[in-house]
Amino acid sequence: MTSDQRSDISNGIWLCQTHAKLIDDDESAFPVVRLQEWKNIAEHMAALEAYGFEVRRAKPYSDLEKKAPKLIAEMREDLRGAPLTRRFIVMREGMAFGTGGENIFQYSPERHAAIYSVMTIMQHASAIYRTSFDDPPQYNFTEEFVSYLLDE
């Protein structure tokens, strides 16, 4: 590119100082084609938002399955048996919890290693949200995550 082409607005991509330097310093990791694709996607997203559409990034639920396959499989099985239940607790096996007759799923640290860390990761992925901060911790599944688990 000529100097004029390089500085033309059509060649522009808005980045913070840190990421602009990263991209400029590593052309092999950030080829022109990739940068043009990113710019094109960002412009299309902005256009949709200007028309009133909500544009959201896809949730990395498949990444959760890689991190906690046994837990995700158990959640999927539970939801298939009770597809309208959204609430669950994390509690040690053998402990009692009064549900008042409400169906609540239970997942335990004995069956799932590092379950509390996994709960944090699941919250960050918007798969679940915490509904109480007492013991035992109580959570709800998001509807998007339920749809993913039930293959809807």
Give 22-55 pLDDT, tens digit per residue: 888 888 888 888 888 888 988 999 999 999 998 8
**What's the pTM value of the predicted model, to 2 decimals?**
0.64
Select, from the ranges 9-23, 47-61, 120-134, the one with the highest average predicted confidence (pLDDT).
120-134
Half-sphere exposure of 151 (CA within 13 A, CB side): 4
- pLDDT above 80 for 136: yes
The number of angstroms, rounded, from the C-alpha of 48 to the middle of its chain's C-alpha atoms is 22
Sheet containing strand 105-107, strands side by side: 105-107, 87-90, 138-141, 128-132
Q: Which letter does DSSP use for residue 10 in this model?
A: G
List the Cα angle 70/83/92 in 5-degree steps.
45
Distances (CA, A) of 150 to 75, 81, 146: 10, 11, 6
